Chain A
Amino acid sequence: MRVALLADVHANLEALTACLAHASGQGAEAHAFVGDLVGYGADPAAVLDIVAEHAAKGAVVVRGNHDQAVLDGTYDLSASAEKAVLWTRGRLSPPQLAFLAGLPLVVHRNEALYVHASADAPADWIYVTDPVRAGHSLAAAEGARYVFSGHVHEPALYFSGPSQKAQGFHPVPGVAVPLTPRYRWLAIVGSAGQPRDGKTEACYALFDSARATLTFHRVPYDWSTAAAKVRAAGLPDRLAHRLERGV
């Protein structure tokens, strides 16, 4: 089974459709959306409709901190994110809000645990930015061989072996990394809708459960349209700029 893993779509319809098309070309048979479906981007309703469609067909979907903020109006976010959250709230229909409200924080399916931030206190939105925090998340995800997360927008792969000390790795796009069985693996799949590592290409990863491999992908998409929509919606200019520069 090949599962396309998407995180931090952030209401970027152009990035989402490009990633889904790429994943389909790579033989993806299932999908998982690991949080932050909305916030920042100009197409929250269209993005939620696509994700809800996949959810109806069995896709894993978990809640992110921006999804949470849209739901309950707690704005523990940056100024531009807060503006985007308020704006997003006004664009969603009751069924779309209900879909967000129904999302779990964590899904454990087969050997994988899906969580937006850290499996260690999922509602605290801890950024897994180093091997120590990755180790905490892996320790909390006992029973899962793989942990798939987002929240941090730069892709990364962590693993911990029998010595229990986690280690990090910067994945190379397009290389199928064997997730060897003696280790437990935590993948930050990278942001589809707002990449921040200086590249504009959308991030997603493809997990092949039969071969136990994970491939990180970068997908070029029409970021100029996505940025133009952000400006047209009256959202902060900085959010459009980020898409144009990948920052």
Chain B
Amino acid sequence: MSAPGQGLRPGTVVDGFRVGEPIYEGGQGVLYAVERVSGGDGMPLLIKVPRLGPGQPGETVVTYEVERMVLAALQGRHVPRFVAAGDLEAQPYVVMERVEGRSLAEATGPLPAAEVARLGASVARALEALHAQGGIHLDLKPSNVILRPGGEAVLIDFGLSRHLHYPDLLGEEAHAPVGSAPYVSPEAVLGVRNDPRSDLFSFGVVLYELATGKLPFGAPTSSGGLRQRLWMDPAPPRAREPAVPEWLQEVILRCLEPDPAERYPSAAAVAAELEHPEKVTVTERGRRLKTFGSRRRMGRWVRQLRYGEISLGEKAEPGARVVLVAVATQHTNEERNDALREEARRLVMPGMRLACVAIIKPASEPAGAMRGATSERIRHLVLLRHWSESLNLPPGQVTHHVIESGDAAGALLDYARRNHVEQVLIGAPPRDVALSGLVGTVAMKVMAHAPCTVTIVRPRS
């Protein structure tokens, strides 16, 4: 046996399984063919060994634990059969069925509509079987689908998945990996991990790719790029591949709706339509040949946001020009708060209103936290008022708003749009935060998409 977290040598025996040749080496682990030393029912097997230890990202061990837990809980022909797993501290591994067939990644678009429908229906039926058991894949893409010789689809790689009957180990991770950039759903980008319809979005990307040979959102490499799919609608498949029939475009774009409520209600529903294209009701969605203008895009996105807002209920001076200042009441940073205040003092003149806005994260489950949610909002409202007090602005020239939202930039932009804000003041991210950090994302996204001037305020040092 090898040391924990290291690769295995062919010929080694691990807990009754003889290790064969490596099949695949990926960033997170290695797959080898294995066979039982004795017994066995003829089902081909493989062993998956995670790469652990120094130099490996911390999430590797979590994705290993997630896959092991979820795979052991799943049954049926649409997932590899779970056989055995090793102790994390001694020799971590998972032994499972080695699914025979070809990868869906070998099917390169554009394919004829009938072929897209046939392949798509197989994948949708596999998702249906997964969802019926309480599983959500959350990393659906062509390379994670194997088609058995009979045409049945098998979903593989459950490292980012969720099973609703088990705790979500990845939900606890501060920097949990989200699925593969070209395929991940908008809500998964925001950290939502409990909606089976997230798989339907990724499924829509797969269908789009099969039908057109292209990716609807490209392959973004930044979190800002990922978030664009919250409001951007992709080019209609028929605009990129004229051979795509209207019914197929209807199915694909319905899967790609940013709001899960506007997608198919279930994998079974989309499977049924792919199996009977003549039953698809074609709407404007299936016929359009252009993307929407930016206004409509914003509308799509705003529906996606779900938040509660409370304010001090001050009367705003009617017709006043509005300056929005985003105050981070969740992170006390006196220098940044002072700098923001100075900038606000300089800017707000008679006939203008300063709207002080704090965004707080929505309360999380279990429900005990709900009781505290209102008092939490009030606490932030108090902090916000404290922030503005020394500005000594007369009533009507200052208002205070606490908004609960998982998407701070989105909520700020929405407020700016609804209130015809003329200028936004927002604190700069600390110098030591990488561009990919959360604060950077908020300030930069606001800057990129605000309908008005945005001033990033940095403390003098």
Interface set of A (CB-CB < 8 Å, partner B): 127, 129-131, 133, 152, 156-157, 159-163, 165-170, 172, 175, 177-178, 180-183
Contact = CB atoms under 8 A, between A and B. Distances in A.
A172 B165 contact: yes
Contacts of B174: 163, 165
Contact of A170 (B88, B171, B366, B369): B366
A130 B172 contact: no
A182 B61 contact: yes
29 contacts: A129-B366, A129-B368, A129-B369, A130-B366, A130-B368, A130-B369, A130-B372, A152-B368, A157-B167, A159-B167, A159-B169, A159-B172, A160-B172, A161-B173, A162-B58, A163-B174, A167-B168, A167-B172, A167-B364, A168-B364, A168-B365, A175-B73, A177-B167, A178-B69, A178-B166, A180-B69, A181-B88, A182-B65, A183-B172
Chain A facing B: main interface SS: loop
A133 B167 CA distance: 18
A157 B164 CA distance: 13
Contacts of A131: 364, 366, 369
Contacts of A183: 169, 172
Contact of A180 (B88, B164, B168, B365): B88
Determine which residue in A129, A162, A166, A180 has the highest number of CB atoms from chain B within 10 A of its CB, and name it: A180
Interface residues of B, number: 26
Contacts of A169: 166-168, 366
Nearest to B368: A129
A235 to B, nearest CB: 28
Nearest to A161: B172
A4 to B, nearest CB: 21
A182 B172 contact: no
Contacts of A181: 88-89
Contact of B165 (A167, A175, A180, A182): A175
Given A152-B368, A183-B172, 12 more contacts: A129-B369, A161-B169, A161-B172, A166-B172, A167-B167, A167-B364, A169-B166, A169-B167, A170-B366, A175-B73, A175-B165, A181-B89
Determine which residue in B73, B165, B166, B167 has the highest number of CB atoms from chain A within 10 A of its CB, and name it: B167
Interface string B224-240: 00000000000000000
B379 to A, nearest CB: 14
A165 B172 contact: yes
A182 B365 contact: no
Nearest to A188: B366
Contacts of B88: 180-182
B166 A175 contact: yes
B406 to A, nearest CB: 16
Contacts of B171: 167
Contact of B169 (A157, A166, A180): A180
Nearest to B89: A181
Interface string B169-197: 10111100000000000000000000000
Interface string B341-373: 000000000000000000000001110110110
B164 to A, nearest CB: 8
Nearest to B69: A178
A224 to B, nearest CB: 29
Contacts of B167: 157, 159, 167, 169, 177
Contact of B172 (A127, A157, A163, A177): A163
Contacts of B73: 175
B166 A180 contact: no
A175 B73 CA distance: 9
Nearest to A175: B165
Nearest to A178: B69
Nearest to A165: B172
Contacts of A180: 65, 69, 88, 169
A206 B173 CA distance: 27
A227 to B, nearest CB: 26
Nearest to B73: A175
Nearest to B164: A172
Contacts of A156: 366
A133 B171 CA distance: 18
A131 B363 CA distance: 11
Contacts of B58: 162
Contacts of A177: 166-167
Contacts of A166: 172
Contacts of A168: 364-366
B32 to A, nearest CB: 23
A160 B172 CA distance: 8
Would you list the 3 A-B pairs with minimal beta carbon distance, nearest first? A129-B368, A130-B368, A169-B167
A157 B368 CA distance: 13
A169 B173 CA distance: 15
Interface in B38-86: 58, 61-62, 65, 69, 72-73
Determine which residue in A129, A163, A166, A169 has the highest number of CB atoms from chain B within 10 A of its CB, and name it: A169
Nearest to A160: B172
A168 B367 CA distance: 10
B366 to A, nearest CB: 4
A162 B172 CA distance: 10
B159 to A, nearest CB: 14
A127 to B, nearest CB: 8
A73 to B, nearest CB: 30
A157 B169 CA distance: 12
A163 B174 CA distance: 7
Contacts of B371: 129
A139 B148 CA distance: 49
Nearest to B163: A175
B142 to A, nearest CB: 30
A127 B372 CA distance: 14
B151 to A, nearest CB: 32
A166 B58 CA distance: 17
Interface string B74-109: 000000000000001100000000000000000000
A159 B166 CA distance: 12
